[in-house]
Homo-oligomer: A and B are copies of this chain.
Amino acid sequence: MSNSIEHDYIHENVVNLVKDNMINDEKICDLSDFFKIFADSTRVKILFALSKSEMCVYDLAKVIGSSQSAVSHQLRILRNTKLVKTARKGKEIFYSLLDNHILTIINQGLEHVEE
């Protein structure tokens, strides 16, 4: 009996089994794109800060120690990916987290990082 090797170069049944259970490519890309949002420290800082309180852009820049422009650029990404929502109050635009699911993901990551 051979040692689980079916062909001279791959284990065909394992490959087929796993292939059949793979999620489709589009969903995988959506998923990695989603994690890409959290793959930048400025964006994570923004999201973490917003989990404490809604804030205007200038406040956010102060809190995370970054420029208004840099923060605004990242906020656009967070807006486009539906992670934050905005509410204009006069001249200022207040940003807040769209839902608390986001905080769950951050905390999950923190658990791993903190061991």
Q: Which residues of A contact B (CB under 8 A)?
A: 3, 9-11, 14-15, 17-19, 21-23, 25, 27-36, 38-41, 43-45, 48-49, 52-53, 55-56, 58-59, 62-64, 90, 101, 104-106, 108-114
A21 lies within 8 A of B113 (CB): no
Known contacts A23-B110, A31-B106, A34-B112; 11 further A-B pairs (Cβ under 8 A): A11-B59, A18-B53, A18-B55, A18-B59, A27-B110, A28-B44, A32-B44, A34-B113, A35-B44, A35-B109, A101-B111
Answer whether A104 and B108 are a contact pair too, CB < 8 Å, given A32-B41, A39-B36: yes
- The dominant DSSP class at the A interface is helix
Chain B residues whose C-beta falls within 8 Å of the C-beta of A11 in the assembled complex: 55-56, 59
Chain B residues whose C-beta falls within 8 Å of the C-beta of A18 in the assembled complex: 49, 52-53, 55, 59, 63
**From A113, which residue of chain B is reached at the shortest CB distance?**
B30
